[in-house]
Amino acid sequence: MARALILVALLAACRSTPPPPETRPPRFAILMPQGIEIQDDTTRIAVPRTDDVETFCWTSDGAGFYATNDDALIHVSVAGKRRVLTEGWHAIRFPAVSPDGNRIAFSGRQRTGEPWGVWVISTRPDSRPRRTVDGYGPAWEADGTRLYFERFRPNRGLSMVDMSNGETHPFLDDGRSAHTVTCSRSGGLIIFTRGRALTLFKRASSSVHELTSQRAYNRFPSISPGERYIIYFRQDPTGETHPERALVILDLETLEEQVLDVPAELAKFAP
């Protein structure tokens, strides 16, 4: 009994441990036209055999990636070794690995004309995907119990699905369209695009505020492990911002921006 109580206390302490402090943006991966590149302050490493990748996420241990290439979901190591998890889809996009590293959620449709769905597959070999809910762009809750996703009906917005029973509920259901959602590792922050602006939800205070203006399209955010930085894609159709299309690293403490003038739309901080 005493051992069980100690274990419960240790698990609770792990869940409440604050993220490590960050003084500069950690390493991240960026999807260039020639494939995935890993970057930090001093190095830039190209990942072999990723020139066909369209969307990706890191593995939970940071040793590789789960990626999509139109009709397949694959695992690719940093060295370029590939393994197919599922293939033969009409379209497949935006993989998201669960916090424990055992499951991958993704957007997919198996046939032409089929509605987009959120699917989940085990990382074990020879696993079969399971359709969870109609929707797009999944993101895991920090404890793996729920998925956030973009719903299309009855109106566009963010919803969440309980992985234990499949029940869905709206998230910030204020009638405004929202998409490209991501959650921090601690579960304290949820960032998504609402309208054109990146929007931050702080769980501790249940507060919501916009991080960027509505002038430019700001989407595909990724939160650093220490939760100080985000990296996202910005596109300004007005032409008033240079460059018009860029990746941006935003310091959430100072709100200072670092603009990366690269031909890319998707980047992910390493776990």
Strand ordering across the sheet containing 197-202: 178-183, 189-194, 197-202, 207-210
The β-bridge partners of 105 are 96, 120
Given this model, what pLDDT does residue 40 score?
86
Q: What is the pTM of this model?
A: 0.89
- pLDDT tens by residue, 116-170: 999 999 999 889 999 999 999 999 999 999 999 999 877 778 999 999 999 999 9
73 or 12, greater pLDDT: 73
Contact between 164 and 145 (Cβ < 8 Å): yes
| pLDDT of 74 higher than 70 | yes
Given this model, what pLDDT does residue 4 score?
34
Given this model, what pLDDT does residue 37 score?
97
Please name the residues in contact with 104: beta carbons below 8 A apart, sequence gap of 6 or more: 66, 73, 85, 95, 96, 97, 98, 120, 121, 122, 123
- pLDDT tens by residue, 35-50: 999 998 789 999 999 9
> Please, which pLDDT band fits residue 176 given cuts at 50, 70 and 90?
confident
Mean pLDDT over 251-268 rounds to 94
The β-bridge partners of 182 are 191
Mean pLDDT over 199-221 rounds to 93
- Domain spans of the chain? 24-269
8 or 58, greater pLDDT: 58
Mean pLDDT over 191-218 rounds to 93
Given this model, what pLDDT does residue 242 score?
66
Query: In this structure, which topology does domain 24-269 adopt according to CATH?
Result: Neuraminidase (2.120.10)
Mean pLDDT over 23-46 rounds to 93
- Six-digit token pair at 220? 């595909």
Whole-angstrom distance, CA of residue 178 vs CA of residue 171: 10
Average pLDDT, the chain: 89
> Please, which pLDDT band fits residue 240 given cuts at 50, 70 and 90?
low
Contact between 90 and 109 (Cβ < 8 Å): yes
User: Mean pLDDT lowest for which of 74-88, 171-185, 190-204?
Assistant: 171-185
